[in-house]
Structures are given as C-alpha cells and as structure tokens.
Chain A
Amino acid sequence: KNEVEQSPQNLTAQEGEFITINCSYSVGISALHWLQQHPGGGIVSLFMLSSGKKKHGRLIATINIQEKHSSLHITASHPRDSAVYICAVRSRASYDKVIFGPGTSLSVIP
C-alpha cells in the first residue's frame, strides 16, 4: 500500500462543474502540499497546509489530520484547470522526507 494515495486517478468534468480530488496518507505528517503539473510539464505549488482550510481564487484545500485525509476542490472549473494534481506530504519523522502521491489527471471539457 502506498503511503500517499489519491482518488480518482483520472477525472473528466464539464466546464463549470465543482471538482473534488482526494488524498489519503498513512504516515504522520508535518505538512501537506498540493501541486499542479500542466501538460507542458512544469510543476507549481498550489497550497501548503498543516491544518484546517486554505482558499486561493477558485481553489480550496482542506485537511483533516485525525483522519489523515485532504481534499482539493475546484469551483466553477475551466478548461485551463486541466492538469495533473499531485498531493505530497512531509513526514513528521523526518523533515527531509517528502512523499508524493501518484497524481490525479483532470480534464475539463468546454
């Protein structure tokens, strides 16, 4: 079992839909990151959170430390949101260890 899992693996949505991507992890963490990787390959950090909820524009990230679960929500989705979304956790046991999930591939259709 991977230490960081994401669901779904692939997601296709119609423009305007509300999207949720889930991340579950099995290790103690000090922080969780959500990253976005566009088809061109570049990776951008969206959020870093250790508790509660953060919002940036149409993106919302939440984390439940007790349940070892995080969600990334996209409101009013747009084709430009099409990308791979990656969840990564920083191990509490070792600040040097960051474990990446396999990614969720999102395609938003006009």
Chain B
Amino acid sequence: NAGVTQTPKFQVLKTGQSMTLQCAQDMNHNSMYWYRQDPGMGLRLIYYSASEGTTDKGEVPNGYNVSRLNKREFSLRLESAAPSQTSVYFCASSENRVTEAFFGQGTRLTVV
C-alpha cells in the first residue's frame, strides 16, 4: 500500500518554464489537496478537490492550475514558473474533508 505518491521529488526550472507535479493515492480517498511549504511559514493550501470532478481554490492559487484526472490522481501545473514559486510542494488526500489527511513525500521545486 503506497499511500500518496508524488513525482518528481526534486525539480529545477528556469523562469517561464512550465511543469506538472503528479500526485496519486491508492486509498480510495475522495478529497485531495496541494500545499506549499515555505521557510518560517505553515503549510498553505493552493487548491483542493473535495471529490472527483471538482476543484476549488485555496489560500494561494495564483500561478497554478489543477486537474482531478480521476479519483486517484490530482495534478498541479505551473504554466509559467516564477522564482516566487520556489517551495516544497505536498500533495495530501483524505477520505473526506473532515477526516485526517495522508501526505506525500513532497516535491522540492527551485525556480531560477
């Protein structure tokens, strides 16, 4: 049972490049989330998906798009990366919006 799997684990991008962070869960969870974690700050929600086919903005959605491809997969896309998007990104899933969440291992993204 892999839980929540994120790829890639590390990525370096040049300003203006695009990329997609992939996330998959095998726990049949309804809700999935994307967070970013910056030094000295708590995790901040970028986007979430309460169920397959729905997505909603979180606290810091600007510069990102998401796709809930199916119940298992929830991807995060940076269309034109900026240095301010240098961060560690975490995907998480939970059975529903009020149960505990399970986190992926994180993606360390650097935009130069």
Interface residues of A (CB under 8 A from B): 2, 4, 30-31, 33, 35, 40-45, 48, 86, 88, 90, 95-103
Pair B42/A42 contact, Cβ less than 8 Å? no
Q: 27 A-B contacts, Cβ less than 8 Å apart? A: A2-B42, A4-B42, A31-B98, A33-B100, A33-B101, A40-B105, A41-B88, A41-B106, A42-B103, A43-B103, A44-B103, A45-B101, A45-B102, A45-B103, A48-B99, A86-B42, A88-B43, A95-B97, A95-B98, A96-B48, A96-B50, A99-B42, A100-B42, A100-B43, A101-B42, A102-B42, A103-B42
- Please report B residues at the A interface, Cβ cutoff 8 Å: 40-45, 48, 50, 56, 88, 90, 92, 97-103, 105-106, 108
- Residues from chain A with Cβ under 8 Å of B42 in the complex: 2, 4, 86, 88, 99-103
Q: Which residues in A have their C-beta under 8 angstroms from that of B48? A: 96
A41-B106, A90-B98 known, 14 other contacts, Cβ within 8 Å:
A30-B98, A31-B98, A40-B105, A43-B106, A44-B103, A48-B100, A86-B43, A96-B48, A96-B97, A98-B45, A100-B42, A100-B44, A102-B40, A102-B41
Closest Cβ neighbor of A102 among chain B residues: B42
A10 and B98 alpha carbons, distance in the complex (Å):
29
- The answer to whether B56 and A41 have CB atoms under 8 Å apart is no
Give the CA-CA distance A29 to B43 in the complex, in Å: 18
Q: How far is the CB of B7 from chain A (nearest CB, A)?
A: 14
Expressed in whole angstroms, the Cα–Cα distance for A14 and B48 within the complex equals 40
B106 → chain A, closest Cβ, in Å? 4
Contact present for B43 and A42 (CB under 8 Å): no
Q: How far is the CA of A48 from the CA of B108 in the complex (A)?
A: 27
CA A40 – CA B92 in complex, angstroms? Answer: 17
Report chain A residues within 8 Å CB of B50.
Answer: 96
Q: How far is the CA of A42 from the CA of B102 in the complex (A)?
A: 10
Q: How far is the CB of B76 from chain A (nearest CB, A)?
A: 17
